[in-house]
């Protein structure tokens, strides 16, 4: 269980410079304002300590002198809707609000912090980023993989970087924490600020990550197509696979947004393929009764049906086997043995989903994240990321964030809503013949 110390954000030192924002007093956030971690009141009276996040927002005094500050932005991992929106927000906030004119973009992820890769950083100005929010992907490029922290910090020193904004998911944040450890070892006044990015929405201690809303909207379109295909044929089945390596948030939310889904399969809920009460048995009952079905499956579901292997990508994430292809083949084989003709359409929109530009909801969210990240950096916060909790923006220490991965609880209102929407059995585990 976390402690209050786990929620303590590191700072570089005393904030000696008055903020150039010139806001009214009430718009600045006090150093002592906190956002409670728990929303529910516990049954026990008199808890030993109350866990709370530091509230994000502009401070009246800041650590860095804007005239002497130089910042850099790096985007890492898989691409996601909203990356360019965050880049633009950071540049605009630093340049126009804080008066920081020296801004660099690190190219192709952490690789760009290793001179051996010959990736020169690019200068970023408002003119350079003015329209990038209309584009998918990241104008800086991205990559997976590790670089030696000593080399990366050497580069930060050589470039005279005071603030490094690291935009990415779990692997990126772990890398940011490693960079900070080397910065701290050298006693350097460099702020390391994370902005959590993953369409899977699986970052711990963060209510939502950017890109998720757009991913759900795009997945919904795929489900609509799957439903049309399924209804257009006798015994039609539409099968859609979406991203969700360890957490099924996209599948769950797309199900609730679509309302035509009959089975939602996620990594958090184990199921059996065969046997009475298993998935294929339940699907057969659905086909016999309604003559069509729509299925959505998260990529990390059903991995127990494959032989174990230790394959990992460059970021250290386990490479899952393709549950979509397995389900497609198992469904076709099952109904063939039952002598029930079906028409199955398999749709995998994964890379289309993550490549599009952010929708309106994500664009708004990304702009907020960029601005709050700048406020945190200029106030000398470090080894932290900007999150949102109870509809408030927060400072979250990176170590506690990467200590866990957010998953759907089977006792949550979210999963209950999925079960009620789909009508699927509470359990798809076989009860035997």
Task: Assign 282 to helix, strand or coil.
Answer: helix
Whether 378 has a binding-site annotation, put simply, is no
Whether 203 has a binding-site annotation, put simply, is no
Whether 36 has a binding-site annotation, put simply, is no
CA atoms of 198 and 181, how far apart (whole Å): 24
Whether 199 has a binding-site annotation, put simply, is yes
CA atoms of 355 and 216, how far apart (whole Å): 13
Count the neighbouring beta carbons within 10 Å of the beta carbon of residue 117: 15
CA atoms of 253 and 244, how far apart (whole Å): 12
Which of the 8 DSSP states describes residue 205? T
Whether 59 has a binding-site annotation, put simply, is no
Whether 244 has a binding-site annotation, put simply, is yes
Phi, psi (deg, nearest 5) at residue 40: -85, 150
Number of Cα atoms under 13 Å in the Cβ half of residue 4: 9
Whether 334 has a binding-site annotation, put simply, is no
Whether 172 has a binding-site annotation, put simply, is yes
Active-site annotation holder among 85, 177, 200, 272: 200
Whether 141 has a binding-site annotation, put simply, is no
With beta carbons less than 8 A apart as the criterion, state whether 4 and 54 touch. no
Which of the 8 DSSP states describes residue 96? I
CA atoms of 52 and 155, how far apart (whole Å): 35
Whether 200 has a binding-site annotation, put simply, is yes
Whether 131 has a binding-site annotation, put simply, is no
Whether 169 has a binding-site annotation, put simply, is yes
| Terminal-residue alpha carbon distance, the chain | 42
- The question of whether 65 is a catalytic residue gets the answer no
Whether 352 has a binding-site annotation, put simply, is yes
Are β-strands 343-347 and 122-123 bridged in parallel, bridged antiparallel, or unpaired?
Answer: unpaired
Give the residue numbers of the binding site for ATP: 78, 144-145, 169-172
Give the residue numbers of the binding site for substrate: 198-200, 243-245, 299, 351-354
Give the residue numbers of the binding site for Mg(2+): 170
Give the residue numbers of the binding site: 78, 144-145, 169-172, 198-200, 243-245, 299, 351-354
Active site members: 200
């Amino acid at each position: 269980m976390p402690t209050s110390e786990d929620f303590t954000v590191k700072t570089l030192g005393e904030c000696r410079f008055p903020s150039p924002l010139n806001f009214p007093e009430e718009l600045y956030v006090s150093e002592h304002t906190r956002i409670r971690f728990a929303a529910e009141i516990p049954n026990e009276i008199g808890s030993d300590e109350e866990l709370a996040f530091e509230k994000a927002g502009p401070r009246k005094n800041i650590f860095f002198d804007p005239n002497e500050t130089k910042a850099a932005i790096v985007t890492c991992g898989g691409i996601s809707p909203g990356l360019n929106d965050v880049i633009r927000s950071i540049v605009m906030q630093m340049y126009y609000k804080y008066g920081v004119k020296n801004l660099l973009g690190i190219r192709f992820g952490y690789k760009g912090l290793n001179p051996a890769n010959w990736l020169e950083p690019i200068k970023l100005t408002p003119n350079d980023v003015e329209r990038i929010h209309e584009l998918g992907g990241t104008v800086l490029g991205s990559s997976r993989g590790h670089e030696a922290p000593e080399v990366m910090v050497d580069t930060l020193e050589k470039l005279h970087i005071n603030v490094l904004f690291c935009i990415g998911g779990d692997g990126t944040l772990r890398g940011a924490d490693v960079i900070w450890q080397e910065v701290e070892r050298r006693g350097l006044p460099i702020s390391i600020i994370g902005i959590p990015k993953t369409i899977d929405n699986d970052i711990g201690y963060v209510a939502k990550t950017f890109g998720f809303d757009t991913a759900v909207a795009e997945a919904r379109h795929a489900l609509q197509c799957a439903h049309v295909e399924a209804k257009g044929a006798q015994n039609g089945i539409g099968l859609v696979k979406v991203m969700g390596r360890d957490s099924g948030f996209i599948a769950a939310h797309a199900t609730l947004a679509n309302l035509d889904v009959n089975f939602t399969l996620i990594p958090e809920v184990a199921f059996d393929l065969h046997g009475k009460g298993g998935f294929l048995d339940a699907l057969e009952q659905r086909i016999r009764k309604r003559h069509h079905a729509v299925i959505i499956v998260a990529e990390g579901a059903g991995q127990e049906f494959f032989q174990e292997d230790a394959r990992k990508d460059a970021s250290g994430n386990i490479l899952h086997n393709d549950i979509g292809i397995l389900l497609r083949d198992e469904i076709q084989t099952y109904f063939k043995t039952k002598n029930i003709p079906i028409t199955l359409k398999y749709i995998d929109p994964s890379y289309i989903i993550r490549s599009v530009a952010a929708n309106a909801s994500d664009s708004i969210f990304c702009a907020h994240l960029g601005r709050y990240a700048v406020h945190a950096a200029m106030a000398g916060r470090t080894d932290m990321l900007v999150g949102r909790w109870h509809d408030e923006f927060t400072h979250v220490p990176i170590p506690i964030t990467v200590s866990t991965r957010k998953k759907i609880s089977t006792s949550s209102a979210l999963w209950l809503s999925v079960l009620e929407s789909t009508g699927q059995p509470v359990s798809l585990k076989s009860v035997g013949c």
